[in-house]
Chain A
Amino acid sequence: MATGTLSETDRPAASPAFQQTSLNRKVKNHVATVLVWLSFLLAVVPLVWVLYTVVANGIKRIPYSNWWSQDFGSVLSDEVGGGVLHAIIGTLEQGLMCAIIAVPLGLGVAIYLVEYGRNSTLSKITTFMVDILSGVPSIVAALFIYALWITTLGLPRSGFAVSLALVLLMIPVVVRSAEEMLRIVPDDLREASYALGVPKWKTIMKVVLPTALSGIISGIMMALARVMGETAPLLVLVGYSQYTNWDLFNNGQAALPLLMNNERATNSMEPGSVGFDRIWGAALTLVLIIALINLIATVVSRVVAPKKK
Chain B
Amino acid sequence: MAKRIDVKDLDIYYGKFHAVDSVTLSVPPRNVTAFIGPSGCGKSTVLRTLNRMHEVIPGARVDGEVLLDGENIYGSNVDPVQVRRTIGMVFQRPNPFPTMSIRDNVVAGLKLAGGGGKRELDEIAERALRGANLWNEVKDRLNKPGGGLSGGQQQRLCIARAIAVRPDVLLMDEPCSALDPISTLAIEDLIGELKKDYTIVIVTHNMQQAARVSDQTAFFNLAGVGQPGRLVELNDTEKIFSNPNEKATEDYISGRFG
Contact = CB atoms under 8 A, between A and B. Distances in A.
- Is chain B a partner of chain A in the same complex? yes
Interface residues of A, number: 26
A195 B113 contact: no
A118 B57 CA distance: 11
B88 A192 contact: no
B113 A199 contact: yes
B182 interface: no
Which of A192, A202, A206, A207 has the most chain B CB atoms inside 10 A of its CB?
Answer: A192
B162 A196 contact: yes
Given A193-B112, A195-B88, A308 B51 contact: no
B75 interface: no
Given A306-B98, A309-B144, A194 B56 contact: yes
Contacts of B147: 306-308
A259 to B, nearest CB: 42
A196 B98 contact: no
Interface in B165-197: 165
B131 interface: no
A229 interface: no
B87 to A, nearest CB: 9
Contact of B112 (A198, A213, A308, A309): A198
B88 A190 contact: no
A191 B58 contact: no
A191 B91 CA distance: 9
Contacts of B103: none
A-B pairs with the 8 shortest C-beta distances? Answer: A197-B85, A196-B109, A306-B98, A195-B89, A188-B95, A210-B99, A197-B84, A198-B112
Interface of B: 51, 53, 56, 58, 81-86, 88-89, 91, 93, 95-99, 108-109, 112-113, 144-145, 147-148, 158, 161-162, 165
10 contacts: A188-B93, A194-B56, A195-B89, A196-B85, A196-B88, A196-B109, A198-B109, A202-B112, A207-B99, A309-B145
